[in-house]
Amino acid sequence: MRTHTVFPSLLLLGALSLTAACSSGPSGTADTTPSGAKPTSASATSTASPAHSVDPSKIKGLRIVSDSSEQKSCAFATSYPDVPGAEAMTAVMKKYVEQRLATFRSDGCSAAGTEDSEFNISHHFLVASGDVLGVRLTTHDSSAAGSGLSSATYWYDGKAGAYRTVLELVADGSRDAFLTAVKGRLQGREGVDAAALDSAFADPASASALLDDMEFTAAGGLRVTFDRGDVGVPAAGAYTVTLSAKTVTPWLSAFGERAQRQTVTPSGSLDLGATHTPTPAVPTHTASGDDDTDCKKVKCIALTFDDGPAVPETGTLLTYLAQYKARATFFTVGQNVAAHPDLVRAEARAGHEVGNHSWNHPDLTKLTAEQVAYQLNRTSAAIKAATGKEPTLFRPPYGAVNSTVRSATTLSPVLWDVDTEDWKYRDATKVARTVIDTTQRNDVVLMHDIHPTSVAAVPEILRTLTARGYHFVTVSHLRATL
């Protein structure tokens, strides 16, 4: 489908204030927001002290594994971290993400048959210090029952070189006392199903499946989060139970004690015993002045790359672009910018444009204005921290934009003219031929730098279209010179 998108659309109102989209009441924390809202785990609104934030850019060798579609009728975006040394934990997360995504693509998309179907898995680091790694995955599946929102935490013990289940934070001999305490905190809350609670906690296997989201607070307490509908009526939302450090510490396993200590007092470095920590090269290409291409006089194309930065794909792509003195626009995802700010700096240094593609790739049209503002403002802040400059453009995930989205930001939306569908066809030759055969003068081309096959297609695209007299410019430059 070809619809020219080069001219910016009228934007209505300034950015809105950042406010949480969760609510809490006497029954606990009711969290019914979709994945695009301000932190969706119920812990985000707990009165217990929050844990120290983790800077993912300090995790050596970190790779964010991402996948996404641009098909509105089957919208999905997933991400999880791959940390050197924690391969066993990565494998567990990978299996979960791939199984859930496969189910959604085979059942959720086809069953929906509309543009309301969306699947999103985002990640958040709980602790990455000493020999302890903790990660939360938050899943939003619009095809699932209820809110479709769930979360789970994953733990890795570097000292033992082993993935740990959530309940392994608690010593074997103390689990009965721990479960009794958690159950006691839940009983009597509005909406809690007492019979279902008794049944779930009576069976060790059921209790283990139910207790899949636990994290330490900055004060050393242990916060347990239950998804909506797990222990109470769905209308009551999610529930949290926070046990104080004084209460929970005697029950912790040796690993749990280390996880607690590294959360309360992070050591500042992570060592999981990896035998090899890859250090991806960051290109040092530097643009030689401003682009003086006049797109009124010559044929121009704006190549755009979504969902990065990615290791090592984005670095490879930057090298290819430099070889042809081509400039492009990168629509970056905030959680990936936070993990790899060095690559975003390299993009800007090489004369490319860095745009905003939301924090974790939700369909913005399904969010409130406040949630949209949070997604975009948080990402813009990460881009500015990396490059020193705030973006002026954003690409709405799935190309989904409406009046609510426009009113929530001063950023100018950018869609596309040529969709390579490279997320669907992982074939470098096919991607290259799509661009070469269908692109016309002043077109905006959609690609993704998270896919090796898409990056591999770029040299042929640059070589062939350069020979045909095309110049590769950023979206803003194309707009300014037409």
DSSP labels, 240-261: EEEE-HHHHGGGB-HHHHHHHH
**Tokens, residue 411:** 């950023």
- Sort 479 into a burial class: Cβ within 10 Å, 0-12 / 13-18 / 19+: buried
| Rounded-to-10 torsion of CA 44, 49, 50, 51 | -150
Quick check: helix, strand or coil at residue 132?
strand
Phi, psi angles (nearest 5°) of residue 173: -70, -10
| CA 145 to each of CA 69, 114, 367: distance values in angstroms, whole numbers, following the listed order | 22, 17, 19
| CA 179 to each of CA 48, 167, 176, 378, 431: distance values in angstroms, whole numbers, following the listed order | 20, 10, 5, 37, 54
Instruction: Note if 193 is an active site residue.
Output: no
**Smallest Cα–Cα separation from 134: which of 313, 275, 256, 8?**
256
| Partners of 81 in the β-ladder | 64
Active-site residue identified among 141, 212, 227, 306 = 306
Quick check: helix, strand or coil at residue 279?
coil
- Sort 87 into a burial class: Cβ within 10 Å, 0-12 / 13-18 / 19+: middle
Alpha-helical (H) ranges within 228-326 are 245-248, 254-264, 313-323
| Partners of 270 in the β-ladder | 130
Quick check: helix, strand or coil at residue 304?
strand
Q: Half-sphere exposure (CA, 13 Å, Cβ side) for 428? A: 11
DSSP labels, 207-222: HHHH---EEE-TTS-E
Instruction: Note if 285 is an active site residue.
Output: no
Active-site residue identified among 124, 361, 448, 451 = 448
Phi, psi angles (nearest 5°) of residue 450: -90, -10
Q: Which residues are catalytic?
A: 306, 448
